Protein backbone atom coordinates (compact mmCIF):
# COMPACT_ATOMS: atom_id res chain seq x y z
CA UNK A 1 0.00 0.00 0.00
CA UNK A 2 1.41 3.38 -1.02
CA UNK A 3 1.64 6.36 1.31
CA UNK A 4 0.71 9.79 -0.01
CA UNK A 5 0.69 12.07 3.00
CA UNK A 6 3.46 13.53 5.23
CA UNK A 7 1.73 12.19 8.34
CA UNK A 8 2.01 8.62 7.07
CA UNK A 9 5.71 9.06 6.22
CA UNK A 10 6.35 10.72 9.59
CA UNK A 11 5.55 7.45 11.39
CA UNK A 12 8.71 5.88 9.94
CA UNK A 13 11.08 8.74 10.84
CA UNK A 14 13.18 9.08 14.03
CA UNK A 15 10.84 11.88 15.26
CA UNK A 16 13.68 13.66 17.06
CA UNK A 17 13.63 16.95 15.10
CA UNK A 18 17.44 16.81 15.11
CA UNK A 19 17.75 18.99 12.00
CA UNK A 20 20.51 16.90 10.41
CA UNK A 21 18.43 16.61 7.24
CA UNK A 22 18.39 20.40 6.87
CA UNK A 23 14.75 20.75 7.96
CA UNK A 24 13.56 22.12 11.29
CA UNK A 25 11.25 19.18 12.02
CA UNK A 26 10.75 15.57 10.99
CA UNK A 27 7.29 16.51 9.72
CA UNK A 28 8.83 19.05 7.35
CA UNK A 29 11.21 16.35 6.12
CA UNK A 30 8.26 13.98 5.65
CA UNK A 31 6.64 16.58 3.40
CA UNK A 32 9.79 16.64 1.25
CA UNK A 33 9.69 12.87 0.95
CA UNK A 34 6.11 12.95 -0.29
CA UNK A 35 6.74 15.64 -2.93
CA UNK A 36 10.05 13.91 -3.89
CA UNK A 37 12.20 16.93 -3.19
CA UNK A 38 13.99 14.84 -0.55
CA UNK A 39 15.23 11.26 -0.17
CA UNK A 40 15.36 8.94 2.82
CA UNK A 41 19.15 8.98 2.57
CA UNK A 42 19.03 12.70 3.48
CA UNK A 43 18.20 11.68 7.06
CA UNK A 44 21.50 10.52 8.68
CA UNK A 45 19.95 8.90 11.80
CA UNK A 46 17.53 6.88 9.66
CA UNK A 47 20.39 5.57 7.52
CA UNK A 48 23.14 5.12 10.12
CA UNK A 49 21.34 3.82 13.21
CA UNK A 50 20.63 0.08 13.08
CA UNK A 51 17.46 0.41 15.12
CA UNK A 52 15.85 2.24 12.17
CA UNK A 53 16.94 -0.28 9.51
CA UNK A 54 13.57 -2.02 9.32
CA UNK A 55 11.70 1.28 9.17
CA UNK A 56 14.03 2.57 6.46
CA UNK A 57 13.47 -0.50 4.29
CA UNK A 58 9.72 -0.28 4.75
CA UNK A 59 9.65 3.46 4.07
CA UNK A 60 11.66 3.04 0.88
CA UNK A 61 9.21 0.38 -0.27
CA UNK A 62 6.19 2.54 0.51
CA UNK A 63 7.65 5.62 -1.18
CA UNK A 64 8.72 3.81 -4.35
CA UNK A 65 6.59 4.96 -7.30
CA UNK A 66 4.05 2.51 -8.71
CA UNK A 67 5.55 2.91 -12.19
CA UNK A 68 9.27 2.18 -12.28
CA UNK A 69 11.46 5.24 -12.81
CA UNK A 70 14.16 4.75 -15.46
CA UNK A 71 17.12 6.92 -16.44
CA UNK A 72 18.34 7.22 -20.04
CA UNK A 73 21.67 8.85 -20.84
CA UNK A 74 24.34 10.21 -18.52
CA UNK A 75 25.41 13.55 -17.12
CA UNK A 76 23.42 16.78 -17.07
CA UNK A 77 21.33 15.83 -20.10
CA UNK A 78 20.24 12.44 -18.74
CA UNK A 79 16.46 12.05 -18.62
CA UNK A 80 14.11 10.17 -16.29
CA UNK A 81 10.88 8.54 -17.41
CA UNK A 82 8.10 6.83 -15.48
CA UNK A 83 7.84 7.31 -11.74
CA UNK A 84 4.12 8.04 -11.57
CA UNK A 85 1.78 7.07 -8.75
CA UNK A 86 -1.65 8.18 -9.99
CA UNK A 87 -3.89 7.92 -13.03
CA UNK A 88 -5.19 11.46 -12.70
CA UNK A 89 -3.05 14.49 -12.02
CA UNK A 90 -5.44 16.14 -9.53
CA UNK A 91 -4.94 13.23 -7.12
CA UNK A 92 -1.26 14.11 -6.64
CA UNK A 93 0.73 15.20 -9.70
CA UNK A 94 2.47 13.60 -12.66
CA UNK A 95 6.25 13.23 -12.44
CA UNK A 96 8.89 13.17 -15.19
CA UNK A 97 7.15 14.77 -18.15
CA UNK A 98 7.01 12.99 -21.50
CA UNK A 99 10.45 12.82 -23.11
CA UNK A 100 10.73 13.55 -26.82
CA UNK A 101 13.37 11.90 -28.99
CA UNK A 102 13.79 12.76 -32.68
CA UNK A 103 14.98 10.29 -35.27
CA UNK A 104 18.12 10.16 -37.36
CA UNK A 105 19.23 7.25 -39.57
CA UNK A 106 22.52 5.51 -40.15
CA UNK A 107 22.21 6.18 -43.90
CA UNK A 108 22.26 9.96 -43.52
CA UNK A 109 25.20 11.97 -44.80
CA UNK A 110 27.57 12.62 -41.89
CA UNK A 111 27.16 16.40 -42.07
CA UNK A 112 23.35 16.12 -42.13
CA UNK A 113 23.43 13.63 -39.24
CA UNK A 114 25.51 15.92 -37.05
CA UNK A 115 23.47 18.98 -38.02
CA UNK A 116 20.15 17.36 -37.10
CA UNK A 117 21.58 15.99 -33.85
CA UNK A 118 22.88 19.42 -32.85
CA UNK A 119 19.53 20.95 -33.76
CA UNK A 120 17.89 18.65 -31.22
CA UNK A 121 20.57 19.33 -28.60
CA UNK A 122 20.47 23.12 -29.06
CA UNK A 123 16.68 23.54 -29.09
CA UNK A 124 15.50 26.10 -26.52
CA UNK A 125 12.08 27.67 -26.04
CA UNK A 126 11.73 30.14 -23.18
CA UNK A 127 8.36 29.63 -21.52
CA UNK A 128 7.13 31.03 -18.19
CA UNK A 129 10.56 31.37 -16.66
CA UNK A 130 12.23 28.22 -17.96
CA UNK A 131 13.71 26.77 -21.13
CA UNK A 132 11.80 23.93 -22.76
CA UNK A 133 14.13 21.37 -24.35
CA UNK A 134 14.05 18.41 -26.69
CA UNK A 135 15.39 15.35 -24.96
CA UNK A 136 17.39 13.13 -27.26
CA UNK A 137 17.98 11.33 -30.55
CA UNK A 138 16.65 7.97 -31.74
CA UNK A 139 19.15 6.39 -34.15
CA UNK A 140 17.33 4.14 -36.62
CA UNK A 141 19.24 1.40 -38.38
CA UNK A 142 17.94 1.64 -41.95
CA UNK A 143 21.00 -0.06 -43.44
CA UNK A 144 20.93 -3.04 -41.04
CA UNK A 145 24.72 -2.79 -41.20
CA UNK A 146 26.47 -2.97 -37.80
CA UNK A 147 29.45 -0.92 -39.03
CA UNK A 148 27.31 1.89 -40.44
CA UNK A 149 25.18 1.95 -37.31
CA UNK A 150 28.25 2.12 -35.06
CA UNK A 151 29.61 5.05 -37.08
CA UNK A 152 26.33 6.93 -36.72
CA UNK A 153 26.19 6.23 -32.99
CA UNK A 154 29.72 7.52 -32.54
CA UNK A 155 28.88 10.84 -34.20
CA UNK A 156 25.69 11.32 -32.20
CA UNK A 157 27.43 10.36 -28.94
CA UNK A 158 29.96 13.13 -29.47
CA UNK A 159 27.15 15.70 -29.18
CA UNK A 160 26.35 14.41 -25.70
CA UNK A 161 22.59 13.87 -25.56
CA UNK A 162 20.58 10.75 -24.61
CA UNK A 163 20.11 8.13 -27.34
CA UNK A 164 17.74 5.35 -28.34
CA UNK A 165 19.21 2.59 -30.51
CA UNK A 166 16.52 1.38 -32.93
CA UNK A 167 16.95 -2.03 -34.54
CA UNK A 168 15.54 -5.53 -34.21
CA UNK A 169 18.94 -6.94 -35.18
CA UNK A 170 20.96 -7.79 -32.03
CA UNK A 171 24.22 -7.51 -33.99
CA UNK A 172 23.41 -3.93 -34.92
CA UNK A 173 22.50 -3.04 -31.35
CA UNK A 174 25.70 -4.63 -30.05
CA UNK A 175 27.79 -2.61 -32.52
CA UNK A 176 26.22 0.58 -31.23
CA UNK A 177 26.79 -0.42 -27.63
CA UNK A 178 30.44 -1.13 -28.27
CA UNK A 179 31.10 2.50 -29.24
CA UNK A 180 28.77 4.01 -26.60
CA UNK A 181 28.83 1.53 -23.74
CA UNK A 182 29.18 4.30 -21.15
CA UNK A 183 26.30 6.45 -22.51
CA UNK A 184 23.40 4.39 -21.07
CA UNK A 185 21.27 4.34 -24.24
CA UNK A 186 17.79 2.79 -24.46
CA UNK A 187 17.64 -0.31 -26.67
CA UNK A 188 14.70 -0.63 -29.06
CA UNK A 189 13.57 -3.34 -29.14
CA UNK A 190 13.17 -6.91 -27.92
CA UNK A 191 10.29 -8.86 -29.45
CA UNK A 192 9.16 -12.48 -29.64
CA UNK A 193 11.87 -13.25 -32.22
CA UNK A 194 14.98 -11.66 -30.70
CA UNK A 195 14.17 -11.37 -27.01
CA UNK A 196 16.91 -13.73 -25.81
CA UNK A 197 19.77 -11.97 -27.65
CA UNK A 198 18.56 -8.45 -26.85
CA UNK A 199 17.99 -9.40 -23.22
CA UNK A 200 21.57 -10.64 -22.99
CA UNK A 201 22.79 -7.31 -24.39
CA UNK A 202 20.76 -5.38 -21.80
CA UNK A 203 22.29 -7.46 -19.02
CA UNK A 204 25.84 -7.38 -20.37
CA UNK A 205 25.92 -3.62 -20.90
CA UNK A 206 23.52 -2.74 -18.05
CA UNK A 207 21.27 -0.53 -20.18
CA UNK A 208 17.48 -0.01 -20.28
CA UNK A 209 15.55 -1.91 -22.94
CA UNK A 210 12.19 -1.75 -24.72
CA UNK A 211 10.07 -4.88 -24.99
CA UNK A 212 7.67 -4.78 -27.92
CA UNK A 213 4.50 -6.73 -28.73
CA UNK A 214 2.18 -4.93 -31.10
CA UNK A 215 -1.46 -5.04 -29.96
CA UNK A 216 -0.80 -8.10 -27.79
CA UNK A 217 -0.80 -7.15 -24.13
CA UNK A 218 -0.46 -10.75 -22.93
CA UNK A 219 2.72 -11.22 -24.96
CA UNK A 220 4.00 -7.83 -23.80
CA UNK A 221 3.46 -8.74 -20.16
CA UNK A 222 5.15 -12.11 -20.69
CA UNK A 223 8.21 -10.46 -22.23
CA UNK A 224 8.42 -7.93 -19.39
CA UNK A 225 8.06 -10.66 -16.77
CA UNK A 226 10.72 -12.81 -18.46
CA UNK A 227 13.17 -9.92 -18.56
CA UNK A 228 12.48 -8.98 -14.93
CA UNK A 229 13.07 -12.57 -13.80
CA UNK A 230 16.37 -12.54 -15.71
CA UNK A 231 17.51 -9.56 -13.64
CA UNK A 232 16.70 -6.74 -16.07
CA UNK A 233 15.09 -3.98 -14.07
CA UNK A 234 14.92 -1.04 -16.46
CA UNK A 235 12.20 -2.03 -18.92
CA UNK A 236 10.09 0.15 -21.23
CA UNK A 237 6.89 -1.14 -22.84
CA UNK A 238 5.95 -0.77 -26.52
CA UNK A 239 2.35 -1.96 -27.08
CA UNK A 240 2.34 -0.45 -30.58
CA UNK A 241 1.21 2.95 -31.85
CA UNK A 242 -1.09 2.75 -34.85
CA UNK A 243 -1.41 6.07 -36.72
CA UNK A 244 -5.08 6.12 -37.66
CA UNK A 245 -8.57 4.65 -37.54
CA UNK A 246 -9.49 1.64 -35.46
CA UNK A 247 -5.80 0.88 -34.92
CA UNK A 248 -5.25 4.22 -33.20
CA UNK A 249 -8.25 3.57 -30.96
CA UNK A 250 -6.81 0.18 -30.00
CA UNK A 251 -3.40 1.73 -29.26
CA UNK A 252 -5.01 4.37 -27.06
CA UNK A 253 -6.99 1.71 -25.20
CA UNK A 254 -3.87 -0.40 -24.69
CA UNK A 255 -2.02 2.54 -23.12
CA UNK A 256 -4.93 3.02 -20.72
CA UNK A 257 -5.06 -0.68 -19.78
CA UNK A 258 -1.31 -0.89 -19.15
CA UNK A 259 -1.12 2.21 -16.97
CA UNK A 260 -4.27 1.38 -15.03
CA UNK A 261 -2.95 -2.11 -14.26
CA UNK A 262 0.43 -0.72 -13.19
CA UNK A 263 -1.03 1.92 -10.89
CA UNK A 264 -3.46 -0.61 -9.39
CA UNK A 265 -0.58 -2.85 -8.33
CA UNK A 266 0.27 -5.21 -11.19
CA UNK A 267 4.05 -4.97 -10.83
CA UNK A 268 4.68 -7.21 -13.83
CA UNK A 269 3.58 -4.44 -16.18
CA UNK A 270 4.31 -1.34 -14.06
CA UNK A 271 6.85 0.19 -16.44
CA UNK A 272 7.10 3.35 -18.56
CA UNK A 273 5.37 3.24 -21.96
CA UNK A 274 6.88 4.19 -25.31
CA UNK A 275 4.70 5.95 -27.91
CA UNK A 276 5.63 6.22 -31.58
CA UNK A 277 3.93 9.24 -33.19
CA UNK A 278 6.57 8.86 -35.92
CA UNK A 279 4.25 6.21 -37.41
CA UNK A 280 2.18 9.10 -38.78
CA UNK A 281 4.80 9.30 -41.53
CA UNK A 282 3.99 5.69 -42.43
CA UNK A 283 0.25 6.27 -42.81
CA UNK A 284 0.39 7.06 -46.51
CA UNK A 285 0.19 10.84 -46.08
CA UNK A 286 2.13 12.34 -48.99
CA UNK A 287 2.11 15.97 -47.85
CA UNK A 288 4.86 16.52 -45.22
CA UNK A 289 2.93 19.32 -43.52
CA UNK A 290 -0.11 17.07 -43.11
CA UNK A 291 2.07 14.23 -41.85
CA UNK A 292 3.72 16.56 -39.31
CA UNK A 293 0.28 17.79 -38.24
CA UNK A 294 -0.96 14.25 -37.62
CA UNK A 295 2.25 13.33 -35.83
CA UNK A 296 1.72 16.31 -33.51
CA UNK A 297 -1.89 15.26 -32.90
CA UNK A 298 -0.72 11.77 -31.97
CA UNK A 299 1.96 13.22 -29.69
CA UNK A 300 -0.74 15.22 -27.92
CA UNK A 301 -2.93 12.13 -27.46
CA UNK A 302 -0.19 10.07 -25.88
CA UNK A 303 1.27 12.93 -23.84
CA UNK A 304 -2.13 13.30 -22.18
CA UNK A 305 -2.59 9.57 -21.76
CA UNK A 306 0.49 7.97 -20.30
CA UNK A 307 3.15 8.09 -23.00
CA UNK A 308 6.34 8.45 -20.95
CA UNK A 309 8.70 8.68 -23.92
CA UNK A 310 8.13 9.06 -27.64
CA UNK A 311 9.96 9.03 -30.96
CA UNK A 312 9.10 11.75 -33.47
CA UNK A 313 10.34 12.97 -36.83
CA UNK A 314 9.24 16.52 -37.71
CA UNK A 315 11.34 19.31 -36.23
CA UNK A 316 9.42 22.16 -37.79
CA UNK A 317 8.42 24.81 -35.22
CA UNK A 318 4.73 24.27 -35.97
CA UNK A 319 5.21 20.69 -34.76
CA UNK A 320 7.73 20.91 -31.92
CA UNK A 321 6.32 23.99 -30.15
CA UNK A 322 2.83 22.54 -29.50
CA UNK A 323 4.43 19.28 -28.37
CA UNK A 324 6.77 20.78 -25.77
CA UNK A 325 4.18 23.31 -24.57
CA UNK A 326 1.55 20.62 -23.99
CA UNK A 327 3.98 18.36 -22.12
CA UNK A 328 5.00 21.27 -19.89
CA UNK A 329 1.35 22.07 -19.16
CA UNK A 330 0.23 18.51 -18.43
CA UNK A 331 3.18 17.87 -16.12
CA UNK A 332 2.95 21.14 -14.18
CA UNK A 333 2.39 20.34 -10.50
CA UNK A 334 -1.19 21.46 -9.68
CA UNK A 335 -0.29 21.70 -5.99
CA UNK A 336 2.20 24.50 -6.55
CA UNK A 337 1.40 27.83 -8.23
CA UNK A 338 3.75 28.71 -11.06
CA UNK A 339 5.46 31.72 -9.51
CA UNK A 340 8.62 33.80 -9.73
CA UNK A 341 10.62 35.02 -6.75
CA UNK A 342 9.17 38.05 -5.07
CA UNK A 343 11.82 40.75 -5.56
CA UNK A 344 12.76 43.84 -7.57
CA UNK A 345 13.76 43.02 -11.14
CA UNK A 346 15.57 45.17 -13.67
CA UNK A 347 14.18 45.52 -17.17
CA UNK A 348 17.13 46.74 -19.22
CA UNK A 349 19.56 48.94 -17.30
CA UNK A 350 17.37 51.24 -15.20
CA UNK A 351 18.73 54.25 -13.29
CA UNK A 352 17.41 56.80 -10.80
CA UNK A 353 15.16 58.37 -13.45
CA UNK A 354 13.58 55.12 -14.64
CA UNK A 355 9.93 54.34 -13.84
CA UNK A 356 8.97 51.87 -11.11
CA UNK A 357 6.15 49.37 -11.63
CA UNK A 358 4.82 46.35 -9.79
CA UNK A 359 2.87 43.24 -10.71
CA UNK A 360 2.19 39.92 -9.00
CA UNK A 361 4.57 36.96 -8.80
CA UNK A 362 2.28 34.72 -10.87
CA UNK A 363 4.80 33.59 -13.50
CA UNK A 364 2.53 34.02 -16.51
CA UNK A 365 1.60 37.55 -15.42
CA UNK A 366 5.16 38.55 -14.59
CA UNK A 367 6.70 37.31 -17.84
CA UNK A 368 3.89 38.84 -19.91
CA UNK A 369 4.50 42.24 -18.33
CA UNK A 370 8.29 41.88 -18.54
CA UNK A 371 8.05 40.89 -22.21
CA UNK A 372 5.76 43.81 -23.05
CA UNK A 373 8.23 46.18 -21.42
CA UNK A 374 11.49 44.77 -22.76
CA UNK A 375 10.24 44.19 -26.31
CA UNK A 376 9.26 47.85 -26.51
CA UNK A 377 12.57 49.11 -25.15
CA UNK A 378 11.12 50.40 -21.88
CA UNK A 379 13.85 50.47 -19.23
CA UNK A 380 12.39 50.30 -15.73
CA UNK A 381 12.26 48.71 -12.29
CA UNK A 382 9.66 45.92 -11.96
CA UNK A 383 8.64 44.59 -8.53
CA UNK A 384 7.04 41.15 -8.26
CA UNK A 385 4.75 41.15 -5.23
CA UNK A 386 4.16 37.82 -3.48
CA UNK A 387 0.48 36.98 -4.05
CA UNK A 388 0.89 33.20 -3.65
CA UNK A 389 1.20 32.90 -7.42
CA UNK A 390 -2.17 34.51 -8.20
CA UNK A 391 -2.76 37.03 -11.01
CA UNK A 392 -3.49 40.73 -10.47
CA UNK A 393 -7.27 40.83 -10.81
CA UNK A 394 -7.94 37.73 -8.70
CA UNK A 395 -5.34 38.73 -6.09
CA UNK A 396 -6.77 42.25 -5.74
CA UNK A 397 -10.26 40.81 -5.31
CA UNK A 398 -9.22 37.99 -2.99
CA UNK A 399 -7.00 39.97 -0.66
CA UNK A 400 -3.65 38.55 -1.76
CA UNK A 401 -2.68 41.92 -3.29
CA UNK A 402 -3.03 44.74 -0.77
CA UNK A 403 -1.28 48.00 0.00
CA UNK A 404 0.39 46.36 3.00
CA UNK A 405 1.72 43.53 0.82
CA UNK A 406 3.09 45.97 -1.74
CA UNK A 407 4.78 47.98 1.00
CA UNK A 408 6.22 44.80 2.48
CA UNK A 409 7.53 43.75 -0.95
CA UNK A 410 9.33 47.09 -1.38
CA UNK A 411 10.88 46.79 2.07
CA UNK A 412 12.04 43.19 1.55
CA UNK A 413 13.57 44.07 -1.83
CA UNK A 414 15.55 46.89 -0.22
CA UNK A 415 14.24 49.39 -2.76
CA UNK A 416 13.52 52.91 -1.44
CA UNK A 417 11.32 55.08 -3.65
CA UNK A 418 12.71 58.23 -2.01
CA UNK A 419 16.38 57.32 -2.36
CA UNK A 420 16.74 54.97 -5.31
CA UNK A 421 14.77 57.07 -7.81
CA UNK A 422 14.31 60.82 -8.16
CA UNK A 423 10.58 60.87 -8.84
CA UNK A 424 9.17 58.96 -5.79
CA UNK A 425 6.51 57.47 -8.07
CA UNK A 426 5.16 53.96 -8.58
CA UNK A 427 2.95 52.79 -11.44
CA UNK A 428 0.33 50.21 -10.50
CA UNK A 429 -1.66 47.81 -12.71
CA UNK A 430 -4.98 49.17 -13.96
CA UNK A 431 -6.68 46.06 -12.55
CA UNK A 432 -5.47 47.11 -9.08
CA UNK A 433 -6.61 50.74 -9.35
CA UNK A 434 -8.63 50.37 -6.14
CA UNK A 435 -5.34 50.28 -4.21
CA UNK A 436 -4.23 53.76 -5.31
CA UNK A 437 -5.34 55.68 -2.22
CA UNK A 438 -4.11 53.12 0.28
CA UNK A 439 -0.76 52.88 -1.50
CA UNK A 440 -0.27 56.64 -1.44
CA UNK A 441 -0.74 56.52 2.34
CA UNK A 442 1.42 53.43 2.93
CA UNK A 443 4.29 54.33 0.60
CA UNK A 444 4.16 58.11 1.01
CA UNK A 445 4.69 58.29 -2.73
CA UNK A 446 2.91 59.33 -5.89
CA UNK A 447 0.85 56.45 -7.29
CA UNK A 448 -0.09 56.44 -10.97
CA UNK A 449 -2.62 53.98 -12.37
CA UNK A 450 -1.34 52.19 -15.47
CA UNK A 451 -3.39 50.52 -18.21
CA UNK A 452 -5.59 47.46 -17.66
CA UNK A 453 -3.42 45.50 -20.10
CA UNK A 454 0.39 45.57 -20.07
CA UNK A 455 0.34 45.50 -23.86
CA UNK A 456 -0.83 49.12 -23.70
CA UNK A 457 2.11 50.28 -21.59
CA UNK A 458 4.09 51.78 -24.52
CA UNK A 459 1.23 54.12 -25.41
CA UNK A 460 0.63 54.91 -21.76
CA UNK A 461 4.26 55.92 -21.24
CA UNK A 462 4.20 58.18 -24.29
CA UNK A 463 1.36 60.17 -22.71
CA UNK A 464 2.18 59.99 -19.00
CA UNK A 465 5.94 59.68 -18.52
CA UNK A 466 7.89 61.41 -17.12
CA UNK A 467 5.31 62.57 -14.56
CA UNK A 468 4.59 66.27 -14.22
CA UNK A 469 6.20 67.93 -11.21
Residue 365 annotated as part of some ligand binding site: yes
Q: Which of 461, 353, 358 is nearest to 402 (CA)?
A: 358
CB 328 within 8 A of CB 135: no
Q: Is 70 annotated as a binding residue?
A: no
359 is in an annotated binding site: yes
User: Is 188 in a helix, a strand, or coil?
Assistant: strand
Residue spans of alpha helices (H) in 64-194: 110-122, 146-159, 170-179
CA–CA distance, 48 with 420 (Å, rounded to integer): 53
458-461 LR contacts (CB < 8 Å, sep 24+): 458/372, 458/376, 458/378, 461/355, 461/378
Residues 6+ apart with CB under 8 A from 65: 82, 83, 84, 85, 95
Q: Round to whole Å and give the CA distance between 266 and 355.
A: 60
392 is in an annotated binding site: yes
Is 263 annotated to bind a ligand? Reply is no
Question: 398: exposed, middle or buried (C-beta count within 10 Å: 0-12, 13-18, 19+)?
Answer: exposed
Q: Known binder of ligand: residue 389? A: yes
Annotation-wise, does 67 bind a ligand?
no
Q: Three-state SS for 136?
A: strand
Cα–Cα distance, 12 to 385 (Å, whole number):
39
Cα 351 to its chain centre, rounded Å, is 37
Q: Which of 164, 302, 153, 165 is nearest to 241 (CA)?
A: 302
User: At 325, phi and psi to the nearest 5?
Assistant: -65, -45
Rounded CA gap, 9 and 26, in Å? 10
* 380 annotated as a binding-site residue: no
Task: Let me know: does 149 contact 172? Beta carbons within 8 Å.
Answer: yes
User: How many angstroms separate the CA atoms of 363 and 357, rounded?
Assistant: 16
Range 234-252 burial, b when 16+ CB lie within 10 A, else e: bbbbbbbbbbeeebbeebb
Residue 391 is labelled as binding a ligand? yes
C-alpha to C-alpha distance for 177 and 186, rounded to whole angstroms: 10
CB-CB contact of 401 with 375 (8 Å): no
In the annotated binding site for 5-methoxybenzimidazolylcob(I)amide, the residues are 359, 365, 389-392, 454
In the annotated binding site, the residues are 18, 21, 26, 43, 359, 365, 389-392, 454
In the annotated binding site for [4Fe-4S] cluster, the residues are 18, 21, 26, 43
Amino acid sequence: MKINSPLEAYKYLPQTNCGECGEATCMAFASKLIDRSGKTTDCPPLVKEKKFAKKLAELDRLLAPEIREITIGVGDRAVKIGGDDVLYRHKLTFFNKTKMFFDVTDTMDEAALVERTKKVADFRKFYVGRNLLLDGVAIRSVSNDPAKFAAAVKKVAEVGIPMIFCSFNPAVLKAGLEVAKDKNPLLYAANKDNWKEVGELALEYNVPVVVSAINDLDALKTLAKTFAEAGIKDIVLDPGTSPSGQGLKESFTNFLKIRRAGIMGDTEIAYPILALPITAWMAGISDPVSAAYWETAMAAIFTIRYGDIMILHSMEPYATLPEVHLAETIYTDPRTPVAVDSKMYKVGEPDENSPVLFTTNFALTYYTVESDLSSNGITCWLLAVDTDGIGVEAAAAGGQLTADKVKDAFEKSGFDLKKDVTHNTVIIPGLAARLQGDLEDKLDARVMVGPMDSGRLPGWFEKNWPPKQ
